């Protein structure tokens, strides 16, 4: 099997992204890791953390080699200004976006097989007048595809019908076309990426008690139920719409391979509670593999040596597994 070439983007330079990248690089991996970052940023952070690294400018024309401990294969992308740990700087916002753009282009050109993203600080990107709602939406725009955000632990997979939008906008965003696209992508990629031959999907309602027969909202009756009934008529194993507090119980979860939640904070609190630090964010629907950490920039931990690389390791491990399918 060919050795996969996998990109890691460290994310916000003032946060723990560079720290956890360097920690991941201290272990052997059955893939070639490519960092898209400022080499001096990683050198400065390695010095702070007392880590030994060997920086190598990547030649994409060379055959990929398995990652060796301490090696930093890098595609140089310069910061506008040297970073200070825990201090956001809007002048470096274009750098963050440039690392993501290069990563997507390399995967679209089939020069790399997957992207693993470190945490970004959306607020500083938007402060720099860069309209950015999240990696999921950015990569979808770059690849002209429809994204489905899913987080996964070893025991639980939760996909989202809507992602990074205000709660007040959720109800009028949920529509039959949106649910049709989301469920089609979720179902097909559970088969193709996760080798689940006949996926079982539990779907949450939007309202408390899944609308209580229309007394607490009619989205379940008018939108969600008709879509699910149509999929069931096609033979898909889809349950719902069910109240979210019923879906996220052990008996229901044990009978399903994935959950589809209607909005971000309906689906992710339970998943993060059950597996924080080990969960992986996966963008389904893209023409390339993209996984990510399940945590933020943790500015206060940058450069302290207290950041954990567990989530980035999980994201890289899953990306490696997915490249084999």
Asked whether 259 and 253 are in contact (CB, 8 A), the reply is yes
Residues with pLDDT less than 70, the chain: none
**pTM, to two decimals:** 0.91
What's the confidence (pLDDT) of residue 154?
A: 86
**321 burial class (0-12, 13-18, 19+ CB within 10 angstroms)?**
middle
Measured CA angle at 221 (ends 216, 224), to 5 deg: 110
The first and second tokens of residue 209, run together, are 């008690």
Count CB atoms within 10 A of the CB of residue 91: 11
Where is 56: in which H helix or E strand? Answer: strand 54-57
Q: Is the dihedral of CA 270, 274, 276, 277 positive or negative?
A: negative
Condensed to tens digits (0 to 9), the pLDDT of residues 141-157 reads 999 999 999 999 988 99
Asked whether 18 and 37 are in contact (CB, 8 A), the reply is yes
What's the confidence (pLDDT) of residue 274?
A: 85
Domains of the chain: 1-145+286-325 (3.40.718.10), 146-285 (3.40.718.10)
From the list 137, 152, 179, the residue with the least C-alpha distance to 267 is 152
From the list 239, 246, 243, the residue with the least C-alpha distance to 212 is 243
- What are the helix (H) ranges across 160-224? 170-173, 176-192, 219
């Amino acid at each position: 099997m060919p050795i996969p070439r996998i990109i890691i983007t460290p994310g916000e330079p003032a946060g723990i992204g560079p720290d956890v990248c360097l920690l991941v690089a201290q272990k052997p991996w059955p893939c070639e890791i490519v960092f898209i970052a400022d080499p001096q940023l990683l050198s400065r952070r390695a010095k702070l953390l007392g880590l030994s690294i060997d920086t190598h400018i990547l030649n994409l024309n060379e055959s990929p080699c398995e990652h060796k401990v301490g090696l930093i294969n890098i595609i140089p992308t310069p910061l506008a200004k040297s970073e200070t740990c825990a201090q956001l700087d809007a002048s470096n916002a274009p750098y963050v976006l440039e690392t993501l753009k290069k990563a997507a282009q390399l995967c679209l050109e089939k020069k790399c097989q997957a992207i693993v993203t470190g945490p970004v600080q959306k607020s500083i990107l938007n402060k720099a007048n860069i309209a950015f709602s999240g990696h999921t939406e950015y990569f979808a725009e770059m690849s002209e595809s429809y994204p489905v955000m899913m987080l996964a632990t070893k025991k639980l997979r939760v996909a989202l019908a809507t992602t990074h939008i205000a709660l007040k906008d959720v109800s009028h965003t949920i529509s039959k076309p949106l649910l049709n696209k989301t469920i089609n992508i979720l179902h097909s990629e559970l088969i193709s990426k996760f080798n689940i031959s006949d996926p079982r999907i539990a779907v949450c309602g939007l309202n408390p008690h899944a609308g209580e027969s229309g007394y607490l909202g009619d989205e379940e009756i008018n939108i969600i139920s008709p879509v699910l009934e149509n999929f069931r008529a096609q033979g898909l194993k889809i349950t719902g719409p069910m109240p979210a507090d019923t879906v996220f119980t052990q008996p229901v979860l044990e009978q399903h391979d994935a959950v589809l939640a209607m909005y971000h904070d309906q689906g992710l609190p339970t998943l993060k509670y059950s597996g924080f630090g080990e969960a992986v964010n996966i963008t389904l629907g893209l023409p390339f593999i993209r996984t990510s950490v399940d945590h933020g920039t943790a500015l206060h931990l940058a450069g302290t040596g207290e950041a954990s690389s567990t989530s980035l390791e999980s994201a890289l491990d899953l990306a490696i597994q997915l490249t084999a399918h």
